[in-house]
Amino acid sequence: MIVGEAVPARVSRMLDEIASIGADPPGVSRLAYTPDERRAHDLVATWLREIDLEVSVDAVGNTIASRAGREPGLPVLAFGSHLDSVPHGGRFDGIVGVVGMVEALRLLHEAGVTTSHPLRAVAFAAEEGARFGEPCIGSKLIVGSLSESDLHRLRDPAGQTLASAMTSVGLVPEDAWNARWEEGDIAAFLELHVEQGGVLEATGRPIGLVDVVSGSTRLRITLTGRANHSGVTPMRGRADALMGAAEVTSQAEALALSATNRGLRLTIGRFDVWPNSTTTIPGRVTFTVDVRDTDSDRQRAVALEVAELAGSTGTRRGLGVEADIIADTSPIVLATWVRDRIRAVSDSMETPNRSMTSGASHDAQVMSSIAPAAIVFVPSRGGVSHVPEEWSSAGDIARGIDLLIRSIVDLDTFIAQVRGPATGASSDKTEPGRKRVSPTLEGTER
């Protein structure tokens, strides 16, 4: 099959058009389940319809394009990424994968190439956990790892529930369960993404192939003391919630930096102080804790230890303490056989590549619960992400798209050959036709 190469100028134009939606100079603020996120989905849907694809939006806001295959009964090859951003974020995180899927489908269309397997491209909703704390909401609803109660439990900083936010942009949260994809329906899932780190740039490798994706446990901790006048209240007579929170965060950093926790990452990302007045002792402080690791036991143990530090600090300082789990996602080992196929394609293109771990969460991590999944990284300049300075070159992105296209074609041929004539899909996440072997990562919970 002869397919053209991705066009960097066209890739840049698509990136620019999406970046204009939710523009927040110098960055982008296109948060989950806002009108701006939906406008970006509408734009991508328009591009997909221009290449004669059937496009739909499911009940939870995922935009899905379908392309028929030659052989009925085969499971779909799926690929895609997300369109939402963090507040004041960059223009490449997630968007590169969506632009890549559009460009890949356009090139297949222009070449007149039809795969044996049907293709399914998806722009996920609400991948970033910035608004509701829970990452990968659109993909988690697809695989069934969020419940109906979660739609009402999860709230943004303004107090709006996830269900309410979905309804406000015309979605139907009560029909979320109709959006489910079943295990066995998907032959493989691929995601093209910017690295969000500096390994590829530092090593001169244009392609990264992810083997392990870190997990994340996120907490919301509230310390409640007594608000009072800053001038007349003696230092030893105070129940200062902010001083207590400062002590907890300092202890949490020391915990993350300890030799026994090497490689773990801990972030205090949000701090809300009440009444937030220069001359009033803070009476209440709420902050978030994000613990990430490739070792799920250590990830959860450190999160628990931070909650216990908050409890002991509160007791000593006379503060009330509440600690809630916002979200909890396990680390995952991605399917080796899919990564090996992509590596072989990359080698055939004479494109240097390397295996690497992802410290960030991704929709492919979630999709791996129902299908073999792979993530392809392209370099991020300076290793920065989630900030306006985030940058990846059009040339590097185009190279990643070329690998995506050729990997789809390769997997289509390979899986069809291994399966033989099919009337349904195998649910095995290992190589088709081989005995299932569960990959293990020390301390990792599958």
What tens-digit pLDDT sequence spans the chain (446 residues)? Answer: 578 999 999 999 999 999 999 999 999 999 999 999 999 999 999 999 999 999 999 999 999 999 999 998 899 999 999 999 999 999 999 999 999 999 999 999 999 999 999 999 999 999 999 999 999 999 999 999 999 899 999 999 999 999 999 999 999 999 999 999 988 999 999 999 999 999 999 999 999 999 999 999 999 999 999 999 999 999 998 999 999 999 999 999 999 999 999 999 999 999 999 999 999 999 999 999 999 999 999 999 999 999 999 999 999 999 999 999 999 999 999 999 999 999 999 999 999 999 999 999 999 999 999 999 999 999 999 999 999 999 999 999 999 999 999 999 999 999 988 875 543 333 345 555 333 333 222 333 32
Which CATH code, of 3.50.50.60, 3.40.50.620, 3.30.70.3170, 3.30.70.360, is assigned to 215-329? 3.30.70.360
The residues, ordered by sequence, that sit 6+ positions from 417 with a Cβ below 8 Å of its Cβ are: none
How high is the pLDDT of residue 429?
53
How high is the pLDDT of residue 413?
95
How high is the pLDDT of residue 142?
96
Q: What span, in angstroms and rounded, lies between the C-alpha atoms of 124 and 116? A: 25
Secondary structure string (H, E, C) spanning the chain: CCCCCCCHHHHHHHHHHHHCCCEECCEECCCCCCHHHHHHHHHHHHHHHHCCCEEEECCCCCEEEEECCCCCCCCEEEEEEECCCCCCECCCCCHHHHHHHHHHHHHHHHHCCCCCCCEEEEEECCCCCCCCCCCCHHHHHHHCCCCHHHHHHCECCCCCEHHHHHHHCCCCHHHHHHHCCCCCCEEEEEEEEECCCCHHHHHCCCEEEEEEECEEEEEEEEEECCCEECCCCCHHHCCCHHHHHHHHHHHHHHHHHCHHHCCCEEECCCEEEECCCCCEECCEEEEEEEEEECCHHHHHHHHHHHHHHHHHHHHHHCCEEEEEEEEEECCEECCHHHHHHHHHHHHHCCCCEEEEEECCCCHHHHHCCCCCEEEEEECCHHHCCCCCCCCCCHHHHHHHHHHHHHHHHHHHHHHHHHHCCCCCCCCCCCCCCCCCCCCCCCCCCC
Structure tokens at 341: 């196929």
Domain locations along the chain: 8-214+331-419, 215-329
Domains 8-214+331-419 and 215-329 share a fold: no
Comparing C-alpha atoms, which of 75, 135, 94 is closest to residue 366?
Answer: 135
How high is the pLDDT of residue 1?
58
CATH topology of domain 8-214+331-419: Aminopeptidase (3.40.630)
